[in-house]
Amino acid sequence: MLSQEVIKKLNDQVTKEMFASNLYLSMSSWCFRNRFDGAGQFLFEHAGEESNHAKKLITYLNETDSVVELQSVAKPESNFKSLLDVFEKTYQHELSITQSINDLVSFMLEQKDYSTFNFLQWYVAEQHEEEALFRGIVDKIKLIGEQSNGLYLADQYIKNLSGK
Ligand code: FEO
């Protein structure tokens, strides 16, 4: 049995993961519109991963006989300044998700909810990987440069990250 507070916080995290999924879908479409097909494909796939993060939380709530109360998901932005702007925003977004997971982990420890604390360790490891992944892309775009040849190379580099 989870406490009502824990259930509420996990439901809130579901909304955050769904927002991330929609944000990355929106970014993916911006990339396709601007002929960054590699980045578009990568973000489209990553949106699926975010949706899976939400589903994993929902499964945990279901397994503990908790109420799943889906909430409205805010509208993500759909216009971006550049490919670098897109990935700087993904990275900032991942940092905010990490903060949210860390807050959840601290809360579970305070509450002595060791089962949920243990469940959340998967998210802790995942956030470590995602921060490194998105920071790596930002660094690579900066390194390759934002002239047209550089952007083409950056797009190819991001395409090869699909599925990671
Ligand atoms: Fe579900 Fe990218 O954090």
109-133 pLDDT per residue, tens: 999 999 999 999 999 999 999 999 9
- pLDDT at residue 46 tops 80: yes
Query: What is 4-72+80-159's CATH topology?
Result: Ferritin (1.20.1260)
What's the pTM? 0.94
C-alpha R_g of the chain? 17
Q: Where does the pLDDT of residue 162 fall: very low under 50, low under 70, confident under 90, or very high at 90 and above?
A: confident
Residue 109 backbone dihedrals phi, psi, to 5 degrees: -65, -45
Query: For position 87, what pLDDT does the model report?
Result: 98
12-38 pLDDT per residue, tens: 999 999 999 999 999 999 999 999 999
129-148 pLDDT per residue, tens: 999 999 999 999 999 887 77
Once rounded to an integer, what is the mean pLDDT over residues 76-105?
98
Query: For position 164, what pLDDT does the model report?
Result: 64
| Cα-to-centroid distance, 64 and ligand 1 (Å) | 23
Which atom from ligand 1 is nearest to the alpha carbon of 16?
A: 1
DSSP secondary structure letters along 39-57 = HHHHHHHHHHHHHHHHHHH
CA 91 to chain centre: 9
Cα–Cα dist 137/102, whole Å: 23
Q: Where does the pLDDT of residue 106 fall: very low under 50, low under 70, confident under 90, or very high at 90 and above?
A: very high
Structure tokens belonging to residue 38: 């590699």
Sorted by where each begins, the domain ranges of the chain are 4-72+80-159
Pocket around ligand 1 at a 6 A CB cut-off: 17, 20, 50, 53, 94, 97, 130
Structure tokens belonging to residue 55: 């589903």
Q: Which of 158, 160, 142, 164 is nearest to 39 (CA)?
A: 158
Query: For position 96, what pLDDT does the model report?
Result: 98
| Cα-to-centroid distance, 149 and ligand 1 (Å) | 30
| Cα-to-centroid distance, 161 and ligand 1 (Å) | 16
Answer whether 53's CB lies under 8 Å from 86's CB.
no
